[in-house]
């Protein structure tokens, strides 16, 4: 009886500690969200979405930064999504026991955990220096490299959850492997794959360090991918430490926009993932 009472006491203690840390984490998250809302909402206005960056005191906005972020993240997804899906499919279908699969999985794990600034430095040396200047293309490619490992990992994990019986049934009907992948396993795992894509968008949208070494930022209106291009993370980085109140307010507005966007993407990913259960 004493032993049972001791185990119950330990169980209750661990549960209390776990609940306490969970409540603390929720409190910190709520504090951050409240700070963003209290500082960002008053700064939001039509000028944020209709005006480009202007000198202090001229009611400037974030239109160029918003458009620049959408362009660079969109191109990054167009580059990184098909590569990530195909690589993840290979690892799940043919790379489980091969040396190439093990090497690809190892490299993908490194990319997942590597600091994003290293990717920025890599693209800086690969594209910015040889081409003689910063550009939107360099920023988009840097973000694509960050997108790929997220999509690869999610695609592989979701395809591994597809029952083997589905594949065997399709093969028994005489379907070649490419048809089995496209019309059976991809369809069965599509919700999870879409979840990975949404999470990759959320990661790319909030990255600042890679863009500092690649697209640099641009206070003027520009959609030319061969020139420096504005983005929300860089605008926040530049304005947050500014001595001008209107620029600091724009930084809070930009931070709120990114937070709300990432939050919506995470909610959508949860909804898509729920369809797999």
Q: Per residue in 71-84, pLDDT tens?
A: 999 999 999 999 99
According to the model, what pLDDT value does residue 118 have?
Answer: 94
Same domain for 106 and 223: yes
Dist. CA 42–CA 86, nearest whole Å:
45
Same domain for 92 and 8: no
Average pLDDT across the chain, whole number: 92
Provide the residue range defining the domain that includes 103: 48-274
Q: How many domains does the chain have?
A: 2
Domain harbouring 92, CATH code: 1.10.3720.10
Give me Rg for the CA atoms of the chain: 23
According to the model, what pLDDT value does residue 271 have?
Answer: 78
Same domain for 188 and 63: yes
Same domain for 166 and 250: yes
Q: Per residue in 214-229, pLDDT tens?
A: 999 998 999 999 999 9
Q: Per residue in 241-252, pLDDT tens?
A: 889 999 999 999
Same domain for 249 and 262: yes
According to the model, what pLDDT value does residue 1 have?
Answer: 57
Q: Per residue in 192-202, pLDDT tens?
A: 898 889 889 98
In the chain, the percentage of residues whose pLDDT exceeds 70 is: 98
Same domain for 124 and 72: yes
Same domain for 188 and 151: yes
According to the model, what pLDDT value does residue 277 have?
Answer: 57
Same domain for 125 and 81: yes
**Four-point Cα dihedral 149, 266, 142, 225, nearest 10:** 140
Question: ∠ CA(225), CA(111), CA(216), 5° rounding?
Answer: 30
- Cβ-based burial of 40 (10 A; exposed 0-12, middle 13-18, buried ≥19): buried
Same domain for 85 and 165: yes
Q: Is the pLDDT of residue 163 over 80?
A: yes
Number of DSSP helices (H) and strands (E) in the chain, helices first: 14, 0
Same domain for 235 and 130: yes
Same domain for 85 and 19: no
pTM attached to this predicted model = 0.90
Same domain for 58 and 34: no
Residue 114's CB is within 10 A of a number of other CB atoms, namely 14
């Amino acid at each position: 009886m004493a032993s049972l009472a001791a185990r119950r006491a330990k169980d209750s203690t661990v549960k209390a500690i776990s609940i306490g840390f969970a409540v603390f984490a929720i409190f910190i998250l709520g504090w951050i969200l409240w700070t963003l809302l209290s500082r960002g909402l008053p700064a939001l206005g039509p000028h944020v979405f209709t005006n480009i960056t202007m000198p202090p005191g001229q009611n400037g906005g974030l239109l160029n930064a918003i458009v620049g972020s959408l362009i660079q993240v969109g191109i990054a997804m167009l580059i990184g999504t098909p590569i990530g899906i195909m690589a993840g499919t290979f690892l799940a279908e043919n790379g489980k026991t091969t040396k190439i699969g093990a090497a690809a999985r190892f490299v993908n794990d490194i990319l997942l955990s590597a600091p994003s600034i290293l990717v920025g430095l890599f693209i800086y040396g690969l594209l910015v220096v040889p081409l003689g200047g910063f550009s939107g293309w360099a920023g988009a490619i840097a973000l694509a490299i960050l997108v790929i490992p997220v999509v690869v990992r999610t695609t592989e994990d979701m395809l591994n959850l597809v029952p083997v019986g589905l594949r065997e049934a399709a093969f028994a009907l005489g379907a070649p492997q490419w048809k089995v992948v496209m019309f059976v396993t991809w369809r069965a795992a599509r919700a999870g794959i879409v979840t990975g894509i949404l999470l990759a968008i959320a990661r790319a949208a909030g990255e600042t360090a890679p863009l500092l070494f690649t697209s640099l930022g641009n206070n003027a209106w520009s959609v030319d991918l061969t020139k420096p291009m504005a983005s929300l993370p860089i605008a926040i980085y530049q304005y947050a430490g500014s001595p001008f109140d209107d620029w600091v307010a724009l930084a809070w507005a930009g931070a709120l926009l990114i937070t709300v966007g990432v939050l919506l993407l995470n909610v959508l990913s949860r909804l898509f993932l729920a369809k797999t259960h």
